[in-house]
């Protein structure tokens, strides 16, 4: 009997490079305060947001994803045809099927790559990194392109005070591949389905089809989500550090989902981070971009020279589902 051929595992993986793309339009607090009967001061105090980036009608989710992906591919020094899998984390691709990832793969030249979308909202990018790590280490793919991308402005209600005023558009990309040293820790991920309805849509597309509801838009129970994010995600962040064999003082950066500046600051406080650890606050002028927020924030820290390649960054995403994911990575 012939012996089955099985892939040879790879011991270590790392992120080779990042790419970023943001919406072309800068939207100020004053631009959106009127319909929600609010003010620039109130929005800054409650969220930390000064402006948010949003795409115009001509700038699609896939356009932003491709721009970010092309930058990451070029910086990684690989060819698009080296990519074995393309993962797109998004909740705003406007088609139920086929996947946005298959279109993205074609656009960036990753012809023939396996391609699929992840719907894990603000945790989607961390889910993607977890899967990319596993795909490379299993020998299934040599390189994986992970993109977190959203065009949230297609699914907002300008009069909604719960979440719409927070949201921006953008995409962040990462290339994951084999490494001669550990570059991605074991991921801590999961979901809390008991709180499934705390962040979501105002209605289903079936209700919209049947004339029972308006176009579905995003909505959340702000206080419930805030408490869950602050208290439960601090536990997940600490577990991710433990799985990586590190302590808070070993980090160069904390890159959380850019949900709200108060959540970010409270998580940093609960982790008892020393002053040497840089905390990403891209939300201030990009807004909350869901699955895109972590790679966008990390890309910015590196681009602005606030952190250096080779340091450790704890990344943690959390959002609708309620889904969460975290891991420690070596900065590319």
Q: 26: which 2 tokens?
A: 């800068």
Residue from 29, 126, 260, 288 carrying the catalytic annotation = 288
Helix and strand totals (H; E) in the chain: 11, 14
List, edge to edge, every strand of the sheet that includes 83-89.
12-22, 169-179, 143-151, 83-89, 114-118
Residue from 29, 122, 126, 260 carrying the catalytic annotation = 122
Task: Find out whether 123 and 318 touch, Cβ atoms under 8 Å.
Answer: yes
Q: How far apart (Å, rounded) are the C-alpha atoms in residues 98 and 302?
A: 34
From the number of C-beta atoms within 10 Å of its C-beta (0-12, 13-18, 19+), residue 181 rates as: exposed
Contacts of 49 (CB under 8 A, 6+ apart): 29, 43, 165, 166, 261, 283, 284, 285, 287, 288
Q: What are phi and psi of 87, to 5 degrees?
A: -120, 125
User: Is 122 known to be catalytic?
Assistant: yes
User: Is 126 known to be catalytic?
Assistant: no
User: Is 195 known to be catalytic?
Assistant: no
Residue from 29, 257, 260, 299 carrying the catalytic annotation = 257
Angle at 297 between CA 165 and CA 80, to 5 degrees: 115
CB atoms near residue 209 (< 10 Å): 9
| Catalytic residue annotation | 122, 257, 288
């Amino acid at each position: 009997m012939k012996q089955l051929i099985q892939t040879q595992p790879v011991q270590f993986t790392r992120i080779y490079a990042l790419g970023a793309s943001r919406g072309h339009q800068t939207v100020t607090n004053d631009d959106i305060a009127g319909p929600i009967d609010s003010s620039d001061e109130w929005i800054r105090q409650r969220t930390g947001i000064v402006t948010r980036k949003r795409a115009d009608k001509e700038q699609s989710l896939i356009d932003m994803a491709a721009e970010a992906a092309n930058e990451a591919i070029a910086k990684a020094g690989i060819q698009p045809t080296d990519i074995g899998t393309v993962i797109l984390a998004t909740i705003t691709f406007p088609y139920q099927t086929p996947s946005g990832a298959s279109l993205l793969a074609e656009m960036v030249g990753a012809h023939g790559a396996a391609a699929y979308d992840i719907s894990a909202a603000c945790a989607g990018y961390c889910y993607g990194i977890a899967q990319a790590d596993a795909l490379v280490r299993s020998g299934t793919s040599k390189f994986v392109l992970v993109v977190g991308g959203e065009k949230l402005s297609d699914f907002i209600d300008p009069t909604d005070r719960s979440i719409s005023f927070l949201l921006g558009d953008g995409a962040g990309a990462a290339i994951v591949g084999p490494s001669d040293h550990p570059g991605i820790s074991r991921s801590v991920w999961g979901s809390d389905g008991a709180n499934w309805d705390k962040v979501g849509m105002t209605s289903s597309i079936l209700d919209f089809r049947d004339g029972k509801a308006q176009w579905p838009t995003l909505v959340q129970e702000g206080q419930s989500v805030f408490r869950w994010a602050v208290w439960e995600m601090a536990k997940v962040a600490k577990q991710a550090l433990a799985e990586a064999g590190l302590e808070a003082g070993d980090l160069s950066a904390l890159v959380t989902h850019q949900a709200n500046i108060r959540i970010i600051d409270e998580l940093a406080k609960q982790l008892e981070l020393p002053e040497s650890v840089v905390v990403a606050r891209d939300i201030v002028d990009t807004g909350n971009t869901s699955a895109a927020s972590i790679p966008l924030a990390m890309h910015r820290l590196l681009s602005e020279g606030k952190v250096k390649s080779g340091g450790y960054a704890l990344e943690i995403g959390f959002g609708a589902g309620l889904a969460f994911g975290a891991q420690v990575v070596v900065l590319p």
